[in-house]
Amino acid sequence: MFSVPRIAYGLFGFGASSLLQTARQADLLLEGSTGVQDFDFICYEVIDDGRIAVITLDRPKQRNAQNRGMLVELGSAFERAEEDDDVRVVILRGEGTSFSAGHDLGSSDDVRGRSPGPGQHPTYQCNGGSLGGVEARHRQEWHYFYQNTKRWRNLRKITIAEVQGTVLSAGLMLAWCCDLIVAAQDAVFADVVGTRLGMCGLEYFGHPWEFGPRKAKELLLTGDSVGADEAHALGMVSKVFPNDELSHSSVEFARRIAKLPSITALMIKESVNQTVDAMGFATALDACFSLHQLNHAHWAQLTGDPLGIGTVEYGLEDWRLAPEILPAAKSRP
């Protein structure tokens, strides 16, 4: 359905520093990284004598839009880091100028992976994929968009999202499931699924907890964005670095945390996560996932599109034109 930039949940119009990729490569060489090249859509490596694992989303031409192969590989990479007792901290980053432009619903990789035939990803024939109706989409999204994000949020390691450029829609989910977020100065955060697809938000609905309730409503109802500094002021982002210093500074930040005894770091993480869950976070996520599926079912019935998304005929922006995403400026209507 989407071509590049047909990246559903990731319809963008931002630029980013061209220095970032070169700086990252140089930093990893200096840190003595050990690469593991058995993935197609991500890269996994360990640095600092194995104490820090670095997972890189590696579809820069698609602005790291998340196809099924990437999500399955990402799950395997997180499990690899979790199983490795030497790893203390995991850094999740994106190759190129964007961290992630969201879910991919139309690149050649995505079409091939979804379509019946020899190139179909095997996960489309399990976990509800072989079923029909609303059940197929519900079970597929529960496994590959929702439950995996919850699983990564509770990983037995400290995780840091290192983000730059566009962090759009499902890209937010990947950042939010990490314990900490460090951002390049040019990072922008937005969820355009409401204004472009007629959806009520993401499968992992962290918006009120990350932005605050009223700001979440504003951003979802308008499709506007917040920048790195405002995200830092909201408490969503921990650090903001110049683009050409992002990779090095992220590793330095991870090193500080890696010095802690692993039990101390884990119990700090668990104390915070369990407190937030006791405040209703986990229950709210479950409820909002059900609302998300109801929203899909509405559009599927109304438009006949099996993807279950709205169209311009119902007053939505035309995502094909990739309209500009504006900052949520306090003085602009």
CA–CA distances in Å: residue 220 to residues 149, 204, 226, 265:
20, 14, 12, 34
Q: What is the pLDDT of residue 36?
A: 52
Q: What stretch of H or E contains 320?
A: none
The whole-number average pLDDT for the span 175-203 is 97
The whole-number average pLDDT for the span 28-56 is 81
Distance CA 177, CA 174 (A): 6
Instruction: Report angle CA 239, 240, 245 to the nearest 5 degrees.
Output: 110
Local structure of residue 106 (DSSP, 8 states): S
pLDDT tens for 222-245 read: 999 999 999 999 999 999 999 999
pLDDT tens for 258-282 read: 999 999 999 999 999 999 999 999 9
Local structure of residue 5 (DSSP, 8 states): T
Indicate yes or no: pTM above 0.75.
yes
pLDDT tens for 91-132 read: 999 999 999 999 997 778 888 888 888 988 998 899 998 998
Q: Specify which of 108-117, 244-253, 300-309 reaches the highest per-range mean pLDDT.
A: 244-253
- Domains of the chain are 19-321 (3.90.226.10)
